[in-house]
């Protein structure tokens, strides 16, 4: 490794992090984020004060701040509405090295594909609430970004990954399109900044690219540095694997019970060896409810079933446990702002366009 790389590893070494919860952020990692907020015109001191923090805590290199507090600060900033598309603007203003270990794991990779795999493996060190994975079943292939009930985290992760990989390939990477399962604040600005079409209210969130784009080399690839950083990151995950928690367990059990209509909370709670009241309380501690998780599971299953042309919409409604198709129509329109038939037609058109695109 070069002297420059030694300086990188000194910054990236997670000093003390192995003794901390994965649900905290080092103040050193957060200073870049708060600096980006200041460049966007936010009063960071006031945002910190609203969460009971002082600037001196952020300036303390040995301090750790709970993820929930960080999320609250970002939520307060977004509520001020000082800038449109805050997650996008924040991604553009966030420099490489804000989260040194993860950032340099990615940029020292050999190629776009390997960098994305590193992001998928180790993002939970920084943000366990967001999952990124490659789906190569489609053409173009998909970089899928998932985070239950957190459109801010989804938008920020998509924008930051697209911006970073375009920078690290000197603009050679071409993104086919960005997809959101929700409606971003200003899709036109997203398209302008990310340089690709935006598809809102789609069946998935993330971005798409050609298969050969996986092999585009990254300009700062460094196998020696990457291997050293991988050992540090793997050690953190081995010492403190991310706890899955009741949300993960409930979603897993609900997924196995669709299309079984016995998805009552009593049934799931019994499988988890707790009472329904205890299960609801533990889910509330994680910011959700059983009804929200069941709704999200049905939504995902509905999207999958509607992709199968052999199933009628009435059959899909029945598979999801709806007694009447009208109830399914109401739920689906709430999820997507469109009827199941309109969603199916749009998805068929999008697949046709994707299959017609050269790799």
Output the pLDDT for position 6: 44
Q: 268 and 166, same structural domain? A: no
**Among 17-31, 73-87, 115-129, 195-209, where is mean pLDDT lowest?**
17-31
Pair 98, 232 in one domain: yes
Residue 308 CA to residue 119 CA, distance in Å, equals 31
Q: Do the domain assignments include residue 41?
A: no
In a domain, 278, yes or no: yes
**Which residue has better confidence, 151 or 81?**
151
Q: Give me the residues paired with residue 17 across strands.
A: none
Task: Return the CATH number at 254.
Answer: 1.10.10.60
Residue 131 and residue 146 in contact, taking contact as beta carbons nearer than 8 Å: yes
Is residue 58 in a domain? no
pLDDT value, residue 12: 40
User: Which range is least confidently modeled, 54-58, 204-208, 316-320?
Assistant: 54-58
Query: Which band of pLDDT confidence, cut at 50, 70 and 90, is reported for residue 256?
Result: low
In a domain, 59, yes or no: no
Angle, nearest 10°, between helix axes 276-285 and 245-257?
120
pLDDT at 24: 55
Least confident of 115-129, 187-201, 232-246, 332-346: 232-246
Q: Are residues 207 and 301 in the same domain?
A: no
pLDDT digits (tens, 9 = 90+) for 266-287: 888 877 777 888 889 888 877 8
Contact 231, 106 (CB under 8 A): no
Residues in CB range of 253: below 8 A, 6 or more apart: 268, 271, 272
Q: Confidence class of residue 303 from pLDDT cuts 50, 70 and 90? A: confident
Judged on CB neighbours under 10 Å (0-12, 13-18, 19+), 226 is buried
pLDDT tens per residue, range 85-131: 999 999 998 888 888 889 999 999 999 999 999 999 998 877 777 88
Is the distance from CB of 184 to CB of 190 less than 8 angstroms? yes
Asked if 188 and 123 sit in the same domain, the reply is: yes
In angstroms, the CA 87 to CA 155 distance is 6
What is d(CA 153, CA 124) in angstroms, rounded to the nearest whole number? 13
Q: Is the pTM of this model over 0.75?
A: no
**Domains identified in the chain, total number:** 2
**How far apart are the C-alpha atoms of 332 and 340, rounded to whole Å?**
6
Does residue 128 lie in a domain region?
A: yes
186 torsion bin: left (phi>0), alpha (psi -120 to 50), beta (else):
beta
Cα torsion at 131, 134, 138, 142 (round to 10°)? 60
Domain identity same for 216 and 277: no
Q: What is the pLDDT of residue 242?
A: 56
CA distance 110 to 223: 7
Q: State how far Cα 236 lies from the chain centre.
A: 21
For residue 341, give its domain range: 245-356
DSSP alpha helix (H) spans, the chain: 3-12, 27-39, 44-50, 55-59, 67-80, 86-93, 100-107, 112-126, 151-168, 187-194, 223-239, 245-257, 265-271, 276-285, 290-306, 313-319, 325-336, 340-356
Distances (CA, A) of 248 to 12, 222, 288, 289: 30, 36, 12, 12
Radius of gyration of the chain (CA): 22
Number of CB atoms found within 10 A of residue 330's CB: 12
Domain co-membership, 169 together with 275? no
> Percent of the chain scored above 90 by pLDDT?
31
Residue 168 lies in a domain: yes
Please name the residues in contact with 343: beta carbons below 8 A apart, sequence gap of 6 or more: 203, 303, 306, 332, 336
Q: How many CB atoms lie within 10 A of CB 135?
A: 12
One domain, residues 160 and 231: yes
Please list the residues that pair with 177 across neighbouring strands. 208
Claim to verify: residue 206 and residue 345 sit in the same structural domain: no
pLDDT at residue 161 in the model = 97
Distance CA(103)–CA(116), nearest Å, equals 11
Average pLDDT over residues 190-211: 94
Decide if 42 contacts 75 (C-beta within 8 A): no
Q: Which of 12-16, 53-57, 88-92, 301-305 has the lowest mean pLDDT?
A: 12-16
Select from 239, 274, 294 the last residue of a domain: 239
> Is residue 38 assigned to a domain?
no
Q: Please identify, among 186, 212, 239, the residue that sits at the C-terminal boundary of a domain.
A: 239
Q: Are residues 252 and 235 in the same domain?
A: no
The answer to whether residue 78 is domain-embedded is no
Q: How many C-beta neighbours within 10 Å does residue 160 have?
A: 19
Domain boundary among the residues 221, 239, 257 is at 239
Residue 134 forms beta bridges with which residues?
A: 143
Same domain membership, residue 234 and residue 116: yes
Are 97 and 161 members of one domain?
yes
Same domain, 229 and 336: no
């Amino acid at each position: 490794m070069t002297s420059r790389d030694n300086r990188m590893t000194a910054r990236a070494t997670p000093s003390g992090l192995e003794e901390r919860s994965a649900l905290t952020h080092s103040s050193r990692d957060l200073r870049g984020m708060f600096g980006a907020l200041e460049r966007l015109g936010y009063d960071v001191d006031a945002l910190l004060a609203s969460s009971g923090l002082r600037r001196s805590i952020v300036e303390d290199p040995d301090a750790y701040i709970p993820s929930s507090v960080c999320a609250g600060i970002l939520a307060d900033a977004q509520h001020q509405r000082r800038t449109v598309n805050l997650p996008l603007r924040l991604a553009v203003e966030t420099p490489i090295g804000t989260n040194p270990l993860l950032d340099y794991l990615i940029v020292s990779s050999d190629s776009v594909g390997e960098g994305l795999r590193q992001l998928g493996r180790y993002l939970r060190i920084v943000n366990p609430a967001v999952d990124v994975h490659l789906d190569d079943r489609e053409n173009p292939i998909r970089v899928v970004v998932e985070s239950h009930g957190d459109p801010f985290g989804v938008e920020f992760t998509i924008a930051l990954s697209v911006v970073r990989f375009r920078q690290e390939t000197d603009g050679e990477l071409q993104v086919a399109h960005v997809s959101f399962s929700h409606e971003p604040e200003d899709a036109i600005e997203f398209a302008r900044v990310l340089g690709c079409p935006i598809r809102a209210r789609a069946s998935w969130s993330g971005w798409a690219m050609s298969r050969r784009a996986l092999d585009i080399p990254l300009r700062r690839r460094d196998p020696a540095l990457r291997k050293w950083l991988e050992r540090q990151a793997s050690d953190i995950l081995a010492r403190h694997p991310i706890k899955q928690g009741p949300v993960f367990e409930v979603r897993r059990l609900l997924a196995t019970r669709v299309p079984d209509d016995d998805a009552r909370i009593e049934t799931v709670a019994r499988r988890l060896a707790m009472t329904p009241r205890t299960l609801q309380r533990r889910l509330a501690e994680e910011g959700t409810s059983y009804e929200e998780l069941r709704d999200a599971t049905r939504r995902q299953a509905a999207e999958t079933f509607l992709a199968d042309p052999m199933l009628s919409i009435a059959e899909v409604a029945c598979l999801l446990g709806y007694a009447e198709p009208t109830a399914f129509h109401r739920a689906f329109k709430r999820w997507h702002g469109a009827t199941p038939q309109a969603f199916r037609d749009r998805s068929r058109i999008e697949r046709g366009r994707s299959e017609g695109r050269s790799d």
